[in-house]
């Protein structure tokens, strides 16, 4: 009995790579077009080449997925349907999408197109997967950091297909939750232009300790989970994804061929007969070696052995014979589809050539063409063997006859030109027939309304605020010292504190202190919501349900569904949900989706300029205008990598080659790290340019500031945003305006 194996999904950064992937045995290929892809610096075929590649793949039963996995600005979203239409009409199998607005538009405009939620959406559990299902998504590509158990749970509880990375580069940060390249160099990973700043050397600085030696603390080894094929296949994971759209066609061919070999081995022999040969491991390292390989997160949450650490070793010498073998076998070879053919000639009837093939996913395909009526030979007629030999000459067409029957009468002669033309017409006809079986028609555009779930009807956080009032000041605190300092300030209207900033037994007292000073109290939920977070909040469910929080700040789409259920199960109304900037609404359609998911108010994106923000719905919304912005959120722990894990939540400093120190916060309750920008954000000096946005609130993010620094930052915001004063003293010495004037590409 043959064991079931998942789809093998290969990367293609060019038409040549696409063909190499198909030739090497991929079941599906994902490729970027000229726009909207998360690998903007890949070769990325233009429309004509991509459609040619699509048809080549379909001929051999290989599906093609187009990456639309970046965040889209308002103008870009408007142009999306026109960009997708030619590929949709040619039979594109799926689109891999990050942006909520893009999902909503594609679901309406192209109803037969499968939609896959990109790993950039940071799906970490079944609740977020359900939200994406409401937008028409049929497959999710969860965060790469999830364990196999977490992946299986998503599949079992939602019925969605699950795709998971198994080979290639690993980002240090959760995909979609990294601003490092964006904030340091203006090249956003959310826009496909990551500069891979994490691959540089850093040292860790802790209080009263000597800095560690500079090393590649944030550079992950490459993923290779080849040994886990039996476990992955048995789990029911639908698709195994290879990373590498920036890599060469040889790389694609080599990795795909090795994975194909072992998936087929498992299918034939099962787990008992499965073993990976040492020479195949060596081949994979010959193709690319960043500093070793790791199995990734399937069986462990993090680990020092996942990180490169030491200075990069000498590059492996190229394995030229192996590369040449790949070139000749997969890259330069034209794969041929086997055909069944039948040539028929009868007196007084046109010549007839029928061809047929079995094409994966669509079944039997056939075509029949007619030629001229044959004339009797004046001397010797053509033999069946000569006719067959001529018709079998299909070199360079992408087809070959596996069988060809010739039925003809004696005494007739067929010119070579006539047979060649008949064969050409037949091959063109079968090719067109295959293409037509995948072709679709584009539907007319419909009204731009999000199809997302509706919220719980709770009142808006800023209800009653009118556009002629200045924005309220909202301060997010990360320590009790900060909370006490800002609670006493009349300038502040709202205070939020992190779920792990204060121990749960202190939450009630903190709310009382905040409410006692006439302010609203919000709970800042974790940026990553996984098993650890669910266990934490389940343990605190009774306490949480009975505390008078005015709002919960959502930073991960796993949270709206989870917390609504938590409150409903205890007969309570869930507080208003304020969606933070890490849940992206970079266009109006995405904003509508977030409102549909239950957002009472939105925190506007941090990667858009003031001009770009004006294209959004900004009235009554919130904007982060001061404080250190988070640059990376990682399942790996800098402290565990550089020293040891002591389960102590604290701030440290990550020092780069220029001696700039970036605060690092360990969130031990939820087992993730946050790395912050060395330079705090401050928009106090440009507050006047933001007034036309009619914001409901401006927000200060406090990290490791002391009480006096916290008060100074609040005063600066009050004088600039509330009182409208000019030339306000900045609260921070070395600050940044972020993307206020210079956005991201």
pLDDT category of residue 452 using cuts at 50, 70 and 90: very low
Phi, then psi, of 655 in degrees rounded to 5: -105, 130
462 CB-near residues (< 8 Å, 6+ apart): 472, 601, 620, 696, 697
Range of the domain at 255: 7-170+221-331
CA–CA separation, 404 and 742 (whole Å): 65
Q: Do 254 and 394 share a domain, yes or no?
A: no
Q: What is residue 142's predicted lDDT score, i.e. its pLDDT?
A: 98
| Nearest by Cα to 232 from 151, 122, 117 | 151
The verdict on 655 and 619 lying in the same domain is no
| CA-based torsion, 161, 167, 172, 178: positive or negative | negative
Tell how strand 350-359 and strand 363-373 pair up. antiparallel
End-of-domain residue from the set 285, 301, 331: 331
C-alpha distances in angstroms, 387 versus 367, 380, 396? 19, 14, 19
**Residue 614 belongs to some domain of the structure:** yes
Do 436 and 454 touch, CB atoms closer than 8 A? no
Model confidence at 487, pLDDT cuts 50, 70, 90, reads very high
Mean pLDDT of all residues in 337-358: 96
**Position 313 pLDDT exceeds 70:** no
Beta-sheet strand order (sheet of 599-602): 599-602, 576-579, 551-554, 520-524, 494-498, 472-477, 697-701, 622-627, 681-682
* CA contacts within 13 A on the Cβ side of 489: 25
Residue 447 has pLDDT above 60, yes or no: no
Kindly tell me if the per-residue pLDDT of 422 is higher than 80: yes
Final residue of a structural domain among 420, 438, 456: 438
pLDDT of residue 462: 43
pLDDT computed for residue 455 by the predictor: 38
Here the tokens at position 193 are: 């232009």
405's tokens: 């029957």
State how many domains the chain has.
4
Q: What is the pLDDT of residue 336?
A: 96
Residue 729's pLDDT band (cuts 50, 70, 90): confident
Structure tokens at 414: 């067929």
Taking the C-alpha atoms of residue 470 and residue 684, their distance in angstroms, rounded to an integer, is: 14
296 close to 223: Cβ distance less than 8 angstroms: yes
Spatial distance between the Cα atoms of 442 and 463, rounded to a whole number of angstroms: 42
Residue 300 in contact with residue 33, Cβ under 8 Å?
Answer: no
Instruction: Classify 231 as helix, strand or coil.
Output: helix
Kindly report the pTM of this predicted structure: 0.93
Say yes or no: 38 and 16 in one domain: yes
**For range 274-293, the mean pLDDT:** 93
pLDDT class for 310, splitting at 50, 70, 90?
A: confident
Evaluate whether residue 112 is within a structural domain.
Answer: yes
Q: At what angle do helices 126-133 and 559-568 cross, to 10 degrees?
A: 110
Cβ atoms 494, 511 nearer than 8 A: no
pLDDT band at 312 (very low <50, low <70, confident <90, very high): low
Of 291, 312, 331, the position where a domain reaches its end is 331
Whether residue 285 sits in one domain with residue 152: yes
Look at residue 745 and tell me if it is in a domain: no
For 620-670, the pLDDT digits (tens) are 999 999 999 999 999 999 999 998 888 899 999 999 988 999 999 999 999
Task: Note whether residue 369 is domain-resident.
Answer: yes
What are the distances in angstroms from CA 556 to CA 183, 206, 500, 502? 21, 29, 16, 20
Say whether both 317 and 279 belong to one domain.
Answer: yes
- The pLDDT of residue 316 is 74
Q: Is 463 within a domain?
A: no
Q: Residue 564 falls within a domain, yes or no?
A: yes
Segment 249-279, tens digit of pLDDT:
999 999 999 999 999 999 999 999 999 999 9
DSSP 8-class letter at 251:
H
Say which residue the tokens 């569904």 belong to: 561
Tell me how far apart the alpha carbons of residues 545 and 575 are, in angstroms, rounded to a whole number. Answer: 9
Decide if pLDDT at 314 tops 70: no
Q: What is the pLDDT of residue 337?
A: 97
Q: Is residue 597 domain-shared with residue 717, that is, in the same domain?
A: yes
Together in a domain, 555 and 660: no
Q: Which of 292, 310, 307 is nearest to 213 (CA)?
A: 310
Q: What is the pLDDT of residue 370?
A: 96
Q: pLDDT value at position 731?
A: 86
Euclidean distance between CA atoms 11 and 242, whole angstroms: 6
| Helix (H/G/I), strand (E/B), else coil: 17 | helix
| 659-700 pLDDT per residue, tens | 999 999 999 999 999 999 999 999 999 999 999 999 999 999
* Alpha carbons 67 and 37: distance in angstroms, whole number: 5
What integer best gives the mean pLDDT of the chain? 92
- What whole-number percentage of the chain has pLDDT above 70? 94
Does residue 496 have a pLDDT over 60?
yes
Q: Distance between CA atoms of 677 and 662, rounded to whole angstroms?
A: 6
CATH number at residue 23: 3.20.20.70
Residues 245 and 203 in one domain: no
Which residues are paired to 94 by β-bridges? 65, 114
Q: How far apart are CA 479 and CA 234, in angstroms?
A: 46
Q: What pLDDT, on a 0 to 100 scale, did the predictor assign at position 727?
A: 80
pLDDT value at residue 451? 42
Angstrom distance (rounded) from CA 118 to CA 103:
11
Kindly state whether residues 136 and 240 are assigned to the same domain: yes
Task: Give the pair of three-digit tokens for residue 521.
Answer: 């109290």
pLDDT > 80? residue 44? no
CA distance 229 to 267: 10
Range 444-463 average pLDDT = 43
The answer to whether residue 260 is domain-embedded is yes
Instruction: Give the CATH number of the domain where residue 553 resides.
Output: 3.20.20.330
- Whether the Cβ atoms of residue 636 and residue 172 lie closer than 8 Å to each other: yes
What pLDDT does residue 265 have? 97
Q: Are residues 188 and 237 in the same domain?
A: no
| 93-150 pLDDT per residue, tens | 999 999 999 999 999 999 999 999 999 999 999 999 999 999 999 999 999 999 999 9
Does 708 score more than 90 pLDDT? yes
User: Looking at the structure, do residues 597 and 700 belong to the same domain, yes or no?
Assistant: yes
Residues 256 and 124 in one domain: yes
Does residue 444 sit within a domain? no
Interatomic CA distance for residues 155 and 149, integer angstroms = 10
Please give the C-alpha separations between residue 589 and each of 50, 102, 575, 585, 606, in angstroms, as whole numbers. Answer: 28, 8, 24, 8, 17
Q: Considering the chain, what percentage of its residues have pLDDT values greater than 90?
A: 80
Query: Please, are residues 287 and 254 in contact by the beta-carbon 8 Å criterion?
Result: yes
What would the DSSP string read from start to end of 144-189? TT--HHHHHHHHHHH--EEEEEEEE---SSPTT-B-HHHHHHS--G
CB atoms within 10 A of CB 391: 21
């Amino acid at each position: 009995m043959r064991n079931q194996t998942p789809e093998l999904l290969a990367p293609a950064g060019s038409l040549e790579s696409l063909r190499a992937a198909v030739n090497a045995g991929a079941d599906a290929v994902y490729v970027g077009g000229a726009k909207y892809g998360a690998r903007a610096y890949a070769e990325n075929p233009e429309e004509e080449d991509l459609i040619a590649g699509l048809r080549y793949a379909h001929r051999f039963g290989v599906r093609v997925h187009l990456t639309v996995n970046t965040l889209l600005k308002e103008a870009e979203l408007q142009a999306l349907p026109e960009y997708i239409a030619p590929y949709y009409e040619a039979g594109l199998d799926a689109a891999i999408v990050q942006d909520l607005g893009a999902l909503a538009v594609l679901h309406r405009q192209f109803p037969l197109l499968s939609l896959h939620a990109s790993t950039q959406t940071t799906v970490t559990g079944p609740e977020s997967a359900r939200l994406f299902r409401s937008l028409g998504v049929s497959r999710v590509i969860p965060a790469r950091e999830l364990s196999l158990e977490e992946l299986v749970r998503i599949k079992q509880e939602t019925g969605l297909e699950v795709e998971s990375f198994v080979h290639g580069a690993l980002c240090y940060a959760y995909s979609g939750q990294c601003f490092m390249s964006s904030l340091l160099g203006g090249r956003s990973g959310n826009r496909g232009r990551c500069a891979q700043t994490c691959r540089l050397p850093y040292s860790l600085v802790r209080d009263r300790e000597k800095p560690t030696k500079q090393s590649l603390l944030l550079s992950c080894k490459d993923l290779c989970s080849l040994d886990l094929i039996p476990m992955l296949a048995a789990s029911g994971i639908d698709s195994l994804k290879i990373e590498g759209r920036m890599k060469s066609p040889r790389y694609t061919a080599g990795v795909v061929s090795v994975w194909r070999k072992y998936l087929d081995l498992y299918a034939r022999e099962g787990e008992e007969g499965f073993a990976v040969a040492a020479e195949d491991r060596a081949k994979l390292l010959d193709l690319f070696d960043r500093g070793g390989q790791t199995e990734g997160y399937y069986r462990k949450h993090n680990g020092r052995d996942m990180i490169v650490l030491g200075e990069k070793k000498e590059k492996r010498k190229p394995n030229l014979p192996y590369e040449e073998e790949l070139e000749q076998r997969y890259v330069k070879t034209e794969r041929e589809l086997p055909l069944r053919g039948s040539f028929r000639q009868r007196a007084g009837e046109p010549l007839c050539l029928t061809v047929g093939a079995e094409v994966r996913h669509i079944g039997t395909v056939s075509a029949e063409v007619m030629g001229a009526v044959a004339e009797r030979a004046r001397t010797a007629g053509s033999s069946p063997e000569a006719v067959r030999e001529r018709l079998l000459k299909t070199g360079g067409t992408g087809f070959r006859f596996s069988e060809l029957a010739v039925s003809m009468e004696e005494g007739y002669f067929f010119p070579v030109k006539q047979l060649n033309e008949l064969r050409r017409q037949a091959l063109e006809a079968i090719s067109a027939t295959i293409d037509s079986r995948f072709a679709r028609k584009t539907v007319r555009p419909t009204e731009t309304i999000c199809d997302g779930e509706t919220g719980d009807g709770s009142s808006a956080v800023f209800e009653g605020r009118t556009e002629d009032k200045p924005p309220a000041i909202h301060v997010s605190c990360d320590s009790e010292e900060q909370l006490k300092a800002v609670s006493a300030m009349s300038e502040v209207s709202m205070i939020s504190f992190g779920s792990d900033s204060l121990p749960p037994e202190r939450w009630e007292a903190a709310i009382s202190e905040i409410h006692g000073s006439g302010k609203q109290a919000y709970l800042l939920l974790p940026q990553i919501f996984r098993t650890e977070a669910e266990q934490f909040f389940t343990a605190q469910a009774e306490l949480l349900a009975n505390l008078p929080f005015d709002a919960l700040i959502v930073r991960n789409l796993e949270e709206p569904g989870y917390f609504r259920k938590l409150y409903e199960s205890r007969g309570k109304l869930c507080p208003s949900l304020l969606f933070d900037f890490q849940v992206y609404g970079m266009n109006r359609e995405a904003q509508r989706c977030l409102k549909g998911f239950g957002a009472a108010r939105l925190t506007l994106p941090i990667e858009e300029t003031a001009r770009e923000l004006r294209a959004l719905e900004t009235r009554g919304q919130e904007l982060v205008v001061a404080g250190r912005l988070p640059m990376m959120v990682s399942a790996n722990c800098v402290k565990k990598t550089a020293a040891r894990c002591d389960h102590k939540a604290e701030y440290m400093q990550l020092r780069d080659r220029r001696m700039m120190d970036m605060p690092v916060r360990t969130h031990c309750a939820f087992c993730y790290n946050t790395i912050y920008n060395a330079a705090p954000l401050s928009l106090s000096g440009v507050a006047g340019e933001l007034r036309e946005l009619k914001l409901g609130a401006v927000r200060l993010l406090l990290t490791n500031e002391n009480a006096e620094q916290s008060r100074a930052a609040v005063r600066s915001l009050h004088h600039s945003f509330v009182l409208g004063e000019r030339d306000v003293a900045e609260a921070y010495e070395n600050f940044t305006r972020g993307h206020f004037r210079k956005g991201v590409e």
